[in-house]
Structures are given as structure tokens and as C-alpha cells.
């Protein structure tokens, strides 16, 4: 199998970190999104959506959603478990992982894509119609990113990890979102002591550098 990746981009980083937690090393190819390589015919022939990550299996099957890729890897390599062991834990991990995507990633991306000059007319990621940047979306994204970060503080003051008492895929998404938020100027500060302590703990894991 082969992973199409971009080192700087948050979604492929989720997959790299997940693979590192599993102790797996698979071939990767870099796709420069900022330069528009993901929108060129060669890449669109692999993934018509024009997004990364894309995992291409040995038989040519394509998986192009970060969490779907992670779930596939979890099925093949169940340990260490990152999606939950019991029905209840799986539901809790699912819930928190989705919240990190919809309340974190989605809003940070809105702030990022609607302001960065490199993405003028690329307000939406991947192949599709040219989408002009909309300043109001950036403003709302920023407001909701701050709200999400305050919610993380509340969660982590009551729980050692995002989904409960151990590290899971929800921590991977949250950690990468906290780093992504810096790109739009939103950082943990003195009002986020639990978030900061959790962040340092996750950053110390070798997978954080993947
Ligand atoms: N829901 C998708 C999102 C994929 C996505 O939006 N990836 C970004 C990089 S983080 C991308 O490929 N952007 C392409 C572009 O900006 O044109 C996933 O989790 O895999």
C-alpha cells in the first residue's frame, strides 16, 4: 500500500500519527497542496476529490478519508487499540473524535482557508468549483475555534484524555487541531492549564513527530 501525504497538512498528519502509534511504516509520496499538485490530472486520476490523505491498497483500491484509513489500519492491526474496546468505549471515542473534527478541524479550516492568500479562490479543499474566500466564514471559524478550545479545557480538566482514561484516536485529532489552530492565531493560554498539560503529554509521544 501507499499513502499520498503532505507533511504540513493536518489531515494526513492524523494518519501518519496513527500509523506511528501502531508501529507501522508504509511507503508515502508527498503531494504539494499549496502548489496545487493535488489538482493536477496525475493526482486526480488517483483521487478525483483531489484531497490528501489517500491510501492506495495493493489491489488498487482507494481510501480517501483519514478516519476511514485509520479504521482500516485498526482492523488489520488491532493493537494498540485506538478506537475503543467495548461497545460503550467505541461509542465514546466515536463521539469525541467526531466532535474534534466538526467543532475543531472544521472551524479552524474555515478560518484558515478563508484568509490565506495561497488559497485565494480555493476556499474549499480539493477539486471542485473555484470558491472565493468569504471573510465572514473566517470570522465565524475563529469565534468557534476559540469556543472549541475553551470546551477542550473543560473536558481535560475532568478527564486525562479526550475520550476517557486512555489515549485514543480522539486525542490524535484533537492534538493536531490544537497545532492547526496556531496557524489562525488561536493558542492555549493561561486560561487553559489542563489543555496545556495534556498537550505536553501528547507531544512527548514519539508519534507526535511523525
Ligand atoms: N475529511 C477529509 C479531509 C481531507 C482534506 O481536506 N485534506 C486537505 C489537507 S488537510 C486537502 O487535501 N486539501 C486540498 C486542497 O486544499 O486543495 C479527511 O479527513 O481525510
pLDDT tens track for 85-127 = 999 999 999 999 999 999 999 999 999 999 999 899 998 999 9
- Both 110 and 178 in one domain: the answer is yes
- Residue from 70, 125, 129 whose mutation best tests the ligand 1 pocket (most atoms within 8 A of CB): 125
Q: Domain end: 28, 46, 76, which one?
A: 76
Counting atoms of ligand 1 from 1, which one is nearest the CA of 34?
A: 16
| First-residue to last-residue Cα distance in the chain | 18
- Both 159 and 100 in one domain: the answer is yes
> What's the chain's average pLDDT?
97
DSSP letters for 36-67:
TGGGSHHHHHH-TT--S-EEE-TTS-EE--HH
- Both 125 and 35 in one domain: the answer is no
- Both 155 and 197 in one domain: the answer is yes
> Which protein residue has the closest C-alpha to ligand 1 atom 11?
51
Inside any domain, residue 18 = yes
Please give the helix or strand (H or E) that residue 28 lies within, else none: strand 28-30
* Cα 50 to middle of ligand 1, angstroms: 8
pTM for the whole structure: 0.98
Pocket of ligand 1 contains residue 122 by CB under 6 Å: yes
In tens, the pLDDT along 148-164 reads 999 999 999 999 999 99
Of all residues in the chain, what percent carry a pLDDT higher than 70? 100
CATH code of 148's domain: 1.20.1050.10
- Both 121 and 194 in one domain: the answer is yes
The residues near 2 (Cβ < 8 Å, ≥ 6 apart) are 26, 27, 28, 29, 55, 56
Domain that holds residue 34: 2-76
Q: Is the peptide bond before 51 cis (omega within 30 degrees of 0)?
A: no
Q: Give the three cell numbers for residue 199.
A: 498537550
Pocket of ligand 1 contains residue 173 by CB under 6 Å: no
Amino acid at each position: 500500500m501507499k499513502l499520498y501525504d503532505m507533511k504540513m497538512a493536518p489531515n494526513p498528519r492524523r494518519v501518519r500519527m496513527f500509523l506511528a502509534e501502531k508501529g507501522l511504516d508504509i511507503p508515502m509520496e508527498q503531494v504539494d497542496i499549496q502548489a496545487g499538485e493535488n489538482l493536477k490530472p496525475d493526482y486526480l486520476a488517483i483521487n478525483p476529490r483531489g484531497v490528501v490523505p489517500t491510501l492506495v491498497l495493493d489491489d488498487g483500491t482507494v481510501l480517501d478519508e483519514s478516519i476511514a484509513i485509520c479504521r482500516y489500519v485498526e482492523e488489520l492491526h488491532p493493537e494498540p487499540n485506538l478506537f475503543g474496546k467495548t461497545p460503550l468505549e467505541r461509542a465514546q471515542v466515536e463521539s469525541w473524535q467526531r466532535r474534534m473534527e466538526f467543532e475543531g478541524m472544521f472551524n479552524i479550516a474555515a478560518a484558515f482557508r478563508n484568509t490565506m492568500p495561497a488559497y485565494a479562490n480555493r476556499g474549499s479543499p480539493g477539486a471542485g468549483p473555484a470558491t472565493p474566500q468569504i471573510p465572514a466564514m473566517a470570522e465565524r471559524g475563529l469565534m468557534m475555534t476559540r469556543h472549541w478550545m475553551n470546551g477542550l479545557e473543560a473536558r481535560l480538566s475532568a478527564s486525562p484524555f479526550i475520550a476517557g482514561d486512555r489515549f485514543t484516536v480522539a486525542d490524535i485529532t484533537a492534538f493536531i487541531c490544537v497545532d492547526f489552530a496556531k496557524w489562525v492565531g488561536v493558542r492555549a493560554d493561561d486560561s487553559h492549564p489542563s489543555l496545556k498539560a495534556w498537550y505536553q503529554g501528547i507531544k512527548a509521544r514519539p508519534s507526535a513527530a511523525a
